[in-house]
Amino acid sequence: MLAALVLAWWFNRGRAFVVALSILGGVLAWHLAHTQAVYTLLVVLVPLNILLSMLRPERGARYRASYAWFLLLAAEAVLLYVTSKVSLDLSHWALRSPPIALVGRVAFAAAFAAAVWRAWPDYKPLPVGLAGALLAFFIAEAWGTTPGTYAAFMTAAGLILVASLLQESHQLAFRDPLTGLPGRRALEERLRALGGHYAIAMVDVDHFKKFNDTHGHDIGDQVLKLVGGRLSQAAKGGVAYRYGGEEFSVLFPGASVDDAARELEDIRNAIEIYRMAVRSSDRPKQADEGAKRRGEGAPDKQLSVTVSIGVAGPGQGATPQHVIKAADEALYRAKQSGRNRVSR
pLDDT digits (tens, 9 = 90+) for 47-99: 999 999 999 888 888 877 678 888 998 999 998 888 888 765 555 444 454 44
Q: Whole-angstrom Cα distance, residue 108 to residue 8?
A: 22
Active site residue 272: no
Instruction: Read off the pTM.
Output: 0.66
Q: Which of 294, 300, 257 is nearest to 277 (CA)?
A: 300
- What pLDDT score was predicted for residue 94? 45
DSSP state of 225: H
Least confident among 78-82, 98-102, 129-133, 170-174: 98-102
DSSP H or E segment with residue 238: none
Range list for CATH 3.30.70.270 in the chain: 184-343
CA dist list (Å): 71 to 8, 82, 110, 126, 142? 18, 17, 23, 25, 28
CB crowding 272-291: b at 16 or more within 10 Å, else e = eeeeeeeeeeebeeeeeeee
Radius of gyration of the chain (CA): 27
Query: Can you tell me the mean pLDDT for 243-263?
Result: 92
pLDDT digits (tens, 9 = 90+) for 55-65: 988 888 887 76
Cβ atoms of 38 and 30 closer than 8 Å: yes
Omega of the bond prior to 99 within 30 degrees of 0, cis? yes
Question: Of the ranges 185-199, 246-260, 309-323, which is most confident?
Answer: 246-260
Looking at 3.40.50.10860, 3.40.50.1100, 3.30.70.270, 3.30.300.30, the CATH number of the domain 184-343 comes to: 3.30.70.270
Could you say which of 76, 141, 168, 246 is catalytic? 246
| pLDDT higher at 23 or 87 | 23
